[in-house]
Amino acid sequence: MAKMPREPDSLTYHRAKCPEDRFLTKRTEWLQGPFRFLIIIIYFSNLKHTSAHPQCLDYQPPFKPPYHLEFCRHYEKFGCCDQKADNSIAMRYWDIMDLIGDEAYAACGDLVKDIMCQECSPYAAHLFDAEDPYTPVRHLPGLCFAYCSEFHIKCHSVVKYLTNSQTLLETCEKDRSHFCNLINLADQDYCYPNVLGNNDLYSNLGKVVEDTKGCLQLCLTEVANGLRNPVLMVHSGDDTHRMFVAEQIGFVWVYLKDGSRLEQPFLDISGEVLTTQWLGDERGFLGLAFHPKYRNNGRFFIYYSILINGKLEKIRISEMKVSAHDMNVADPHSERVLLEIEEPAANHNGGQLLFGLDGYLYIFTGDGGKAGDPFGKFGNSQNRSALLGKVLRIDVDGRSIDGKPYKIPPDNPFLGEPDARPEVYAYGVRNMWRCSVDRGDPLTGYGRGRIFCGDVGQNRYEEVDIIVKGGNYGWRAKEGFECFDMKLCQNSSLDDILPIFAYGHHVGKSVTGGYVYRGCESPNLNGLYIFGDFMSGRLMALEEEKKSGSWKEKNVCMGDTKTCSFPGLINHHHKFIISFAEDEAGELYFLATSYPSAMSPFGTLYKFMDPSRRAPPGKCKYKPLPVKVRGKKVPFTPRELTVLDISETPTRSPLEKILLPTKPPGTRQPTRAKPTTSGPKKKIPAKTTTAKLSQEKLKKTTQANEKQINTSTKTLKKVPPYKKSLLQTKKDKQATGKSSLNPKLPIKGAPEKKKPKPLKPTKPKVVTKPKVWLQKTQKTKKAVKKPVKNKPKVTVSKKNQDNRKKTKNIPFTKKKKLFK
């Protein structure tokens, strides 16, 4: 294949074109010397590299096939075909080879195989112009002109078996150059076979996309919105895959797998919870954990702030049970108080509850508030006889001898010590906000059971810790890796455990602990500890070096428009990151708000998604247990615009001469003059009569054209799927409706003062993988509703066609505000 001509250097090119002119004038003599080299460096640093965006024909990222591919072997390491799709392509290929004969097989067999296997390419969406659901799908993959010419010379007789597009078939017979121009792509980086030799596209294929600064580019989906300061989301572990989202004011809501929310809350203790409308108030409903055997015993545990007699503030840890009559409602009379701890100040309330793999309940408390832990000689955190500033561990499946409604685990580290509470598991923490248990690597189980926590700092550092039995995490002697209280810090008996990571307040001022990703849908994220900062809104990740046991920081940022150009994805979120969450399948979420007040309904639940690689089809499927719903369900309505919603134009233009919108002459209505204050309009009878007759004539013409469009649209909907072979009878061909491929099909003109534009195809209802010869009308056969509720729909009525034209010319006129 001939190499592309190299673009000349701008400076050399100018000298060559203008030899007699002195290139450096008096005004440009400063370009000599070091300044000249600086300009050249800046010039080449700004050259645009090819931006990779791997995507399959089902609008999803590519994947690593779980099994060996027998036919399209070139894509068995990474691509868009599993074994089933590979076998399907092979069957279609051999059907064609049986029809063309041995001589044509010898000449064209390899070429046809390469073309058909582009369905398996990790860049199949680019090759077939299927980067979004609104762009027409090509009948054949994009072939570079030279390759297409070679294919046409040898195998033009085979094209009729690869496509039934009348346009392509006619041009294939008449004009090779025109045919190859139709098949070619505007972006030469993606046409076949150029795409195979592009280092920018294949160098990091299948890995998490990074920007120039090494920031991991991830995307999001919006899962829930309108929440009042959502402080947590947990699952019940009972195979129903329900998600329970708690608001700071004391409500817990049930979200079902279909995205809907139950109208009745699971729990409402807003009358008991202490919280205010103050911006940043840390009191409220803070913790929720389901018993490991919740499916059988219906027990769960809550952590919230209370006010006693209008003066004394406490935190309360209680046990409750689900209703015996409704699995989606808690029994309000079942509360059993396990523990109450007095809070000397309004801040540093802790709030995390979780069950470890040992079956015990872990309780994470704050140091009591104020600044610098000023309580007692060494502070609450270093005082093991106090319950504040600690990690507590209790056994909720029994009662102690002294009458407490829980037992002390026999291996608690300070059991039997006179100067320590037996509940203490670890100490020296300031205000741990959000902790999680590592599920462990899905294959090896590495890391299973580790407890990660984010501990909010005082003046300089935020830290992330792994909790170990009996550990001292240093506060108030240390903050992060450095000393806070010099006297305590220099004490040789401190023996503190250092954090696995700490960052300064130039990055963020309030860490929000996260999770180690162990889900199925995004394999590249496996093992990454993803967390964030409440104040700065920054997302971060830590990657473990297993040999040394150290952790390396990796920044997480939102992918750009190209990276997140998949259906349903967004690349922005609210600033204040309140909490992270994990669903029953192990997928990762986080909750954020734009205004951190307990009463503000601006909280949103987001789900992480890696756009560079997904799991193989069918691997992440699971069957949730049925959920009996007694009340009403509130369907989910997205508020955020997805990346594809924001994009005004498709990423690629449709095939040439497939749709040519034409404007019937005379259909534009006369422009009305603006009313004036000088006097009433004068009527001209002759002109009025003529215009009236003309309008009636035009109306009949438009109705006739509209009727023709309606007829062809109905015909389009009857186009059979791929399984009706191209080698069909004349009767079958008549049923497909050739009029749908007529390039001269008249289309109603644009509204008044609007330039006509091609009609945008409707979004398919079911995202399916088109075949190589699939007609351009296949996409318009099925339609999917976009997340935005007021997205215009394609109909055949005149009124709706006008509305659709207006919406297309002014794409943002009907967008909803973020909040009402």
Distance, in Å, from the CA atom of 118 to the CA atom of 116, rounded to the nearest integer, reads 5
Apex CA 92: angle with CA 90 and CA 98, to 5°?
100
Instruction: Tell me how crowded residue 84 is: count the other CB atoms within 10 A of its CB.
Output: 10
Contact by Cβ (8 Å): 518, 526: yes
Check residue 779 and give its pLDDT. 39
Structure tokens at 213: 């600064």
Q: How many helices (H) and strands (E) does the chain have?
A: 17, 28
For 20, half-sphere exposure in the C-beta direction (CA atoms, 13 angstrom radius) is 0
Structure tokens at 817: 């505000």
Check residue 645 and give its pLDDT. 84
pLDDT top residue among 304 and 776:
304
Distance, in Å, from the CA atom of 503 to the CA atom of 521, rounded to the nearest integer, reads 30
Structure tokens at 600: 């503000």
Which helix (H) or strand (E) covers residue 112, if one does?
Answer: helix 83-116
Distance, in Å, from the CA atom of 781 to the CA atom of 767, rounded to the nearest integer, reads 11
Check residue 406 and give its pLDDT. 97
* Strand 529-533 versus strand 511-516 pairing type: antiparallel
Q: What is the mean pLDDT of residues 308-321?
A: 96
Check residue 469 and give its pLDDT. 97
* Strand 550-558 versus strand 216-227 pairing type: parallel
CA dihedral sign of residues 557, 560, 562, 568? positive
Helix, strand, coil tally for the chain in percent (to 5): 25, 20, 55
* 657 CB-contact burial (10 Å; exposed 0-12 / middle 13-18 / buried 19+): middle
Check residue 133 and give its pLDDT. 67
Distance, in Å, from the CA atom of 558 to the CA atom of 540, rounded to the nearest integer, reads 11
pLDDT digits (tens, 9 = 90+) for 206-243: 888 888 888 999 999 999 999 999 999 999 999 999 99
Ordered by where they begin, the domains of the chain are 73-201 (no CATH), 210-634 (2.120.10.30)
pLDDT digits (tens, 9 = 90+) for 465-488: 999 999 999 999 999 999 999 999
Question: Would you say residue 734 has pLDDT above 80?
Answer: no
Structure tokens at 796: 């055949």
- Residue whose C-alpha is closest to residue 781's, from 688, 715, 709: 715
Distance, in Å, from the CA atom of 194 to the CA atom of 65, rounded to the nearest integer, reads 24
Contact by Cβ (8 Å): 246, 603: no
Contact by Cβ (8 Å): 427, 390: yes
The most confident of 25-34, 328-337, 743-752, 778-787, by mean pLDDT: 328-337
The amino acid present at 673, given as its one-letter code, is A
Return the SS3 of 803: helix
Contact by Cβ (8 Å): 381, 389: yes
Check residue 86 and give its pLDDT. 97
Question: Would you say residue 533 has pLDDT above 70?
Answer: yes
Q: Which of 263-267, 489-493, 614-618, 715-719 has the lowest mean pLDDT?
A: 715-719
Structure tokens at 68: 């060996």
Question: Would you say residue 69 has pLDDT above 90?
Answer: yes
Q: What is the mean pLDDT of residues 172-190?
A: 92
Q: What is the mean pLDDT of residues 165-187?
A: 92
- Residue whose C-alpha is closest to residue 439's, from 431, 429, 430, 450: 450
CA dihedral sign of residues 669, 674, 675, 679? negative
* Strand 451-455 versus strand 432-437 pairing type: antiparallel
Question: Would you say residue 76 has pLDDT above 70?
Answer: yes
What DSSP letter does each residue of 548-602 carry, written as one string?
TTEEEEEEEEE--TTTT-STT-B----SEEEEEEE-TT--EEEEEESS--TT---
pLDDT bucket at 542, cuts 50 / 70 / 90: very high
**Residue labelled with tokens 């909280």:** 603
Distance, in Å, from the CA atom of 539 to the CA atom of 687, rounded to the nearest integer, reads 68
Contact by Cβ (8 Å): 331, 320: yes
Structure tokens at 616: 């193989």
Question: Would you say residue 252 has pLDDT above 70?
Answer: yes
| Per-chain mean pLDDT for the chain | 80
Kindly report the pTM of this predicted structure.
0.75
pLDDT bucket at 398, cuts 50 / 70 / 90: very high
Q: What is the mean pLDDT of residues 631-645?
A: 93
pLDDT digits (tens, 9 = 90+) for 783-803: 444 444 444 444 444 444 444
pLDDT digits (tens, 9 = 90+) for 33-55: 544 444 444 433 443 444 578 99
Contact by Cβ (8 Å): 343, 326: no
Distance, in Å, from the CA atom of 437 to the CA atom of 237, rounded to the nearest integer, reads 14
- Residue whose C-alpha is closest to residue 409's, from 364, 360, 469, 362: 360
Q: What is the mean pLDDT of residues 712-723?
A: 40
The amino acid present at 627, given as its one-letter code, is V
**Residue labelled with tokens 């719903």:** 629
Instruction: Tell me how crowded residue 496 is: count the other CB atoms within 10 A of its CB.
Output: 17
Q: Provide the 8-state DSSP code for 192.
A: B
pLDDT digits (tens, 9 = 90+) for 98-134: 999 899 999 999 999 999 999 999 999 999 988 766 6
pLDDT top residue among 345 and 734:
345
Tell me how far CA of residue 643 lies from CA of 499, 568, 787, in angstroms.
38, 8, 11
Check residue 2 and give its pLDDT. 38
Check residue 200 and give its pLDDT. 83
Contact by Cβ (8 Å): 589, 608: yes
* 178 CB-contact burial (10 Å; exposed 0-12 / middle 13-18 / buried 19+): middle
Check residue 227 and give its pLDDT. 98
Distance, in Å, from the CA atom of 38 to the CA atom of 30, rounded to the nearest integer, reads 11
Apex CA 598: angle with CA 265 and CA 372, to 5°?
130
User: What percent of the chain is predicted at pLDDT more than 90?
Assistant: 64
Return the SS3 of 150: helix
pLDDT digits (tens, 9 = 90+) for 556-605: 999 999 899 899 999 999 999 999 999 999 999 999 999 999 999 999 99
